[in-house]
Structure 1
Amino acid sequence: MVGGVHIPALKGRQGDRDMYLLSVKNTMLLRNFSAGAEPADTKDKKAQRSLDPRHAGDIVTYMVENTDDYVLGAVTYAIDVVDARDHFVELQEGTGVGFLVLPLDAELRCLDGQHRRQAIKEASEADPRLLDDYTAVVLYVEDDYMRRRQMFSDMNATPKVVAKALNVAFDSRDPYALAALRLADEHPMLKGVVEKEKARITTRSGAIFSLAGVYDALKRYVLGANVPRGRSPRDRDVDTLVQLGGELFDTLASSRDEFAAVTAQVRSFMMDDGSPTALGAYMAAERRATLLLSTTTLRVIAGALREALSRDNESDPLRYVYSLSQVDFTPDSPLFNAAGFVGRTGTPSARNQEVMAATRALAAVLAR
């Protein structure tokens, strides 16, 4: 048996590769598993994306703020020199349970999870208790550079991103998420017409906004159109955020009769078990007629109201009901076309610079 670092492991196989599942104490992870995909002298042979310090920093913040119940997925590595006959001590023949002996000269290359690995290092410096926690590691035996690149591509080819609306609905830590969910369930303008799971709302959907849109609008209204990146600040409690969100949607409901009319029609279809085809045709026609039935437009209005309030040193958004009622929200609106917010299809573009341009333009109209 060769010398090296002994780690409890489960041995398995995927295709023609041996693989090992490890539970590694963070002190050992930081000592023996780097965040790099390739050694420093082989930068021209990348098998991973470049490390983004800001992304790693977001994970650090999450870990430090939630040390008792944070969750990090397994980190995936490739190792070059492990041979099961020399480097795996099976406790009982045929079980695949035993000890993996990491050779001291082995090259360990991170294929997935480098930001988690880097975050563990930085978070442990902020809170040394995290060094006693464990991280799951999936270790593949693969010494071929091109096959490692293919592994990285394969691992990132099929994952499906969870819809933001569903993340918001499930997040019990973020006060903005909790407030958005309450607003969607309780506010008269939103009740029954908010999509809580899907990433996007189709033209024919009976939902007016997505939960992700309500969440983003709340953050823009409270924090400003340039929402800070990363996780939401915990600067206000949920009740306060619900109150502020109520101000936003009360202003919308009071200034634009379109919302009440469409909401009433949608609810009528629902109560009467109306034809989904008829509801879809109605919603498609309404969306062709106005930009208001768009989650992206909701973000613009929320940010513009916050900017107008700040410019005017005002605290009551209801003072903008009249000016908001006079804004042209048709697809031909000169205001939104000049901002590049409306494309050839007559629908709002979701590109951030166009959203910001439309926000600034609308705020200039609303502010006194």
Structure 2
Amino acid sequence: MNDGFEYQFPAIRGIQAQREYYVSMCPMRLLPKLFQFDEDELAPELRAQRQLNRARIPELSRYITENVNNYVFSAITVSIDADIAFTSFAGEGDANRIGILKIPMSARFIINDGQHRRAAIDQALRNHPELGDETIAVVFFVDKGLERCQQMFSDLNRYAIRPSTSLSILYDYRDETARLVKSLIANSVIFRDVVELEKTSLAPRSRRLFTLSAIYHATNELLSGFQETTPEEAARLALEFWESVADQMDEWGRVRSGDLTAGEVRTDFIHTHGVVLQALARAGRTLVSKHPNTWKNKLGGLKVIDWRRANSRVWEGRALVGGQLSKSHQNVVLTANAIKAHLDLELSEEEQRVEDAFRRGANGARKATA
């Protein structure tokens, strides 16, 4: 039903699957007024989108407000359940694709893609109303009926794939730790040319020893205990720590010299994998805190550790679960506990609780099989 009142959007007309669609720009202050959410209380089969995850909104909103000069949001996709009109500015050629899209005010808009962006913009505007005149691209489809809207939601999300953690870190220039780790890899002899920068897992034949994401999480673990350090001090500590650790890992050096392949080391040893790197950093954080002037001399305990994956007596239940490496928090703590024992470091209360529980479980399993 058209009551004579209408919205008018400058738009470009296009064709997909023999259907017209329209691309326009919408001032952010109008988003909350124009595009309402499907009712959350409706059953899933009666909605045209997923239920809004309100826990995501504050983080997205902060992203806007903390980066007002360089945030980026992709287009919102909206279905219109109404009869619309498009008046082109010219009658022939490509120019007739540009014009005014007229939509009745009685029309129903359904967000097929971008509902969390819309909610985050709404929240950001409350604290930064000056953002209201900025614009976001909106793609309009004319689709009458719930079935078509639901199919659009399914199609838009069917092939969406999140980038790997390593690639996200590589392209992130806001995260201070990400910048530090990328500089570390570029400037450190031990990491140069042996770090996979794009993928989060390594193929058996890969020539890389480590992944960027593993080094990032491990370095973040190391530096989390030194919040008062400057970026320069943090970078220097990270570089000195990993180079000192590398001095204790013969296999790392043998890969660089060509005596071993990276695949052989990753297959036979556990010390290049994420769980162990993070455990090394956790133990290292305590070591540096307790012995700020002599910690390098105390890393020699790493050299006597049997890092072979086949050493299940030590690593099963810690770094390994059923013979497979596990990166859970508990496994990181248990692996760090074993490393701390070789470095003569005391366990924290949390680490002692995890260790006691692990030993009770191990003793119970031995009794059961006796």
TM interval, short-chain normalised? 0.7 to 0.9
Equivalent residues in 2 for 1:132-147, closer than 5 Å: 132-147=133-148
Go from structure 1 to structure 2 and tell me whether the alpha carbon gap of 1:365 and 1:242 turns closer, same or farther (over 3 Å shift): same
Q: Deviations over 1:219-272 (max 9, x none)?
A: 111126xxxxxxxx9x86543332131133033113322222222227xxxxxx
Go from structure 1 to structure 2 and tell me whether the alpha carbon gap of 1:216 and 1:58 turns closer, same or farther (over 3 Å shift): same
Q: Deviation of residue 140 (structure 1)? A: 1.5
TM-score by length of 2: 0.81
Q: Secondary structure at the match of 1:255?
A: coil
1:348 is aligned to 325
Amino acid at match of 1:251: S
1:91 is aligned to 89
Amino acid at match of 2:326: S
TM-score by length of 1: 0.81
Q: Deviation of residue 363 (structure 1)? A: 4.8
Q: Deviation of residue 211 (structure 1)? A: 1.8
Q: Secondary structure at the match of 1:42?
A: coil
Q: 1:293 aligns with which of 265, 272, 280?
A: 272
- Does the Cα contact within 8 Å between 1:175 and 1:237 map onto a contact in 2? no
Equivalent residues in 2 for 1:130-279, closer than 5 Å: 130-223=131-224, 238-265=231-258
Amino acid at match of 1:263: R
Go from structure 1 to structure 2 and tell me whether the alpha carbon gap of 1:207 and 1:284 turns closer, same or farther (over 3 Å shift): closer
Amino acid at match of 2:160: P
- Does the Cα contact within 8 Å between 2:40 and 2:52 map onto a contact in 1? no
1:322 is aligned to 300
Go from structure 1 to structure 2 and tell me whether the alpha carbon gap of 1:354 and 1:100 turns closer, same or farther (over 3 Å shift): farther
d(CA) in 2 for partners of 1:104 and 1:357? 61
- Does the Cα contact within 8 Å between 1:222 and 1:306 map onto a contact in 2? yes
d(CA) in 2 for partners of 1:353 and 1:144? 49
Q: Deviation of residue 27 (structure 1)? A: 0.9
1:230 is aligned to none
1:42 is aligned to 42
- Does the Cα contact within 8 Å between 2:270 and 2:276 map onto a contact in 1? yes
Q: Deviation of residue 307 (structure 1)? A: 5.1
Unaligned 5+ residue runs, structure 1?
225-232, 267-278
Aligned residues between the structures = 337
Q: Deviation of residue 74 (structure 1)? A: 0.8
Q: Deviation of residue 304 (structure 1)? A: 3.6
Amino acid at match of 1:293: T
Go from structure 1 to structure 2 and tell me whether the alpha carbon gap of 1:259 and 1:23 turns closer, same or farther (over 3 Å shift): same
Go from structure 1 to structure 2 and tell me whether the alpha carbon gap of 1:66 and 1:16 turns closer, same or farther (over 3 Å shift): same
- Does the Cα contact within 8 Å between 1:292 and 1:329 map onto a contact in 2? yes
- Does the Cα contact within 8 Å between 1:63 and 1:70 map onto a contact in 2? yes
1:33 is aligned to 35
RMSD: 2.8
- Does the Cα contact within 8 Å between 2:209 and 2:266 map onto a contact in 1? no
d(CA) in 2 for partners of 1:49 and 1:329? 46
d(CA) in 2 for partners of 1:222 and 1:197? 23
- Does the Cα contact within 8 Å between 2:29 and 2:125 map onto a contact in 1? no
Unaligned 5+ residue runs, structure 2?
347-370
d(CA) in 1 for partners of 2:86 and 2:66? 38
Q: Secondary structure at the match of 1:192?
A: coil
Q: Deviation of residue 291 (structure 1)? A: 0.4
Go from structure 1 to structure 2 and tell me whether the alpha carbon gap of 1:187 and 1:132 turns closer, same or farther (over 3 Å shift): same
Amino acid at match of 2:307: F
Asked if 1:302 corresponds to 2:303, the answer is no
Q: Secondary structure at the match of 1:18?
A: strand
Bigger Rg, structure 1 or 2: 2
Go from structure 1 to structure 2 and tell me whether the alpha carbon gap of 1:145 and 1:361 turns closer, same or farther (over 3 Å shift): farther
Q: Deviation of residue 15 (structure 1)? A: 1.4
Q: Secondary structure at the match of 2:159?
A: coil
Q: Deviation of residue 191 (structure 1)? A: 1.6
Q: Deviation of residue 127 (structure 1)? A: 1.8
d(CA) in 2 for partners of 1:99 and 1:363? 69
Q: Deviation of residue 104 (structure 1)? A: 1.9
Q: Secondary structure at the match of 2:158?
A: coil
d(CA) in 1 for partners of 2:97 and 2:79? 19
d(CA) in 2 for partners of 1:105 and 1:136? 22
d(CA) in 2 for partners of 1:360 and 1:100? 65
Go from structure 1 to structure 2 and tell me whether the alpha carbon gap of 1:364 and 1:55 turns closer, same or farther (over 3 Å shift): farther
Q: Deviations over 1:22-57 (max 9, x none)?
A: 1100111122123x2x23563442332332233222
Go from structure 1 to structure 2 and tell me whether the alpha carbon gap of 1:71 and 1:252 turns closer, same or farther (over 3 Å shift): same
Greater displacement, 19-28 / 4-13: 4-13
2:11 is aligned to 9
Q: Deviations over 1:134-159 (max 9, x none)?
A: 11111222233233222222212223
Amino acid at match of 1:348: L
Go from structure 1 to structure 2 and tell me whether the alpha carbon gap of 1:285 and 1:142 turns closer, same or farther (over 3 Å shift): same
Greater displacement, 25-34 / 256-265: 256-265
